[in-house]
Amino acid sequence: MKKPWLYKYQTDNWNIKSPTCRGKIMVEQDNTTEHTHEFNELVFVFSGSGIHKVDNERYPLTRGDVFVMRGSHFHGFENTNHLHLKMILFSPGFFQNFSKRIYDLPGFQTLFVHEPRYRKNHKFKSKLRLTPEQLTKIGHIFNIIEENQENKPLGFQAAVEYLFGYIIVLTCRYYSESTSPKPKALLRLSPVITYIEKHFNDLLLISELAKKAYMAESSFRRIFKQITGLSPINYIIRFRIEKAVEIMTQDPTEQVIKISSNVGFENSSYFTKKFKSIMGTTPIAYMQNLRNFEK
């Protein structure tokens, strides 16, 4: 079985090459037109400055900035001034090779899932910024990766993958240690968002979710909406509707009352009301369209 990398991107242009990840250790980043690709990037800004364009939004970059760029979003660079980057390109399935302990790191979901997902709402203010000491340590690991790649000693590919994993662990650790207000707020909310998405069909009380974020309920409601663009209850409802759509797509003959119960709605009439407000049609009509499409 092939490891989760997009093999059509395996070229000789990468400084870092292993079966599951590719990396570019760049001397200087020039201006680029906006583009997409089928891999993601973990980007470290080592010096210089520039503007990162993402889906028509513009975010300033400076030394120490660290962020994940999802390749499916239009992105590019402009106004670059001696912008020196080190980045690792990885396939969306890359983390399937890691143990569950990586996913449970306090900063993992924040850095790799929630900060990119909600970047437009918080205007890139929740990004990680490394201290000079942290950036130096990450740079040292990159140097070891380059040395392994250049000299190709025995087991160098395994070493490269291990070192990339170490960079991920360190970066998540640095995120969890951040004292800046915006990253700290997102770091507190990330486990709650993950909890909601795992337990969407359970009874979810806003007061209990606020406790999980170690926030007063009023602060939790305000910060949650600032970051996600939705109130906690509307986020829960929208996520439940998305899960209902998944069930309907898999089986468009399923009973509406059963679907509503499976995704956490106690009342099927309320489910129908919320489904129509979000999807623009009733659950029954939506499933009828799916059945007609399959004929």
Number of Cβ atoms within 10 Å of the Cβ of 99: 9
SS3 187: helix
Name the band, by pLDDT with cuts 50, 70 and 90, for residue 235: very high
Percent of the chain past pLDDT 70, that is, above it, reads 88
Name the band, by pLDDT with cuts 50, 70 and 90, for residue 124: confident
Q: Is 50 exceeded by the pLDDT of residue 187?
A: yes
Domain boundaries, the chain: 7-176, 199-295
pLDDT given for residue 216 in this prediction: 96
257: CB partners within 8 A, 6+ apart: 268
Residue among 37, 103, 110 nearest 76 (CA): 37
SS3 57: strand
Higher model confidence: residue 92 or residue 260?
Answer: 260
H helices present in 66-155, as ranges: 100-103, 108-109, 115-117, 119-122, 132-151
pLDDT given for residue 14 in this prediction: 56
Mean pLDDT, to the nearest integer, of 205-229?
95
C-beta of residue 103 within 8 angstroms of C-beta of residue 95: yes
In tens, the pLDDT along 59-99 reads 999 999 999 999 889 999 999 999 999 888 877 777 766 66
Tell me if domain 7-176 and domain 199-295 are identical in fold: no
Q: Which of 81-85, 93-97, 142-146, 261-265 has the highest mean pLDDT?
A: 261-265
Q: Which CATH architecture group holds 199-295?
A: Orthogonal Bundle (1.10)
Name the band, by pLDDT with cuts 50, 70 and 90, for residue 295: low
Number of Cβ atoms within 10 Å of the Cβ of 101: 9
Q: Is 90 exceeded by the pLDDT of residue 131?
A: yes
Name the band, by pLDDT with cuts 50, 70 and 90, for residue 291: confident
Higher model confidence: residue 165 or residue 13?
Answer: 165
Whole-model pTM: value is 0.80
Class of domain 7-176: mainly beta
CA separation for the pair 141, 63 (Å, rounded):
17
- What's the mean per-residue pLDDT of the chain? 86
Q: Is 90 exceeded by the pLDDT of residue 162?
A: no
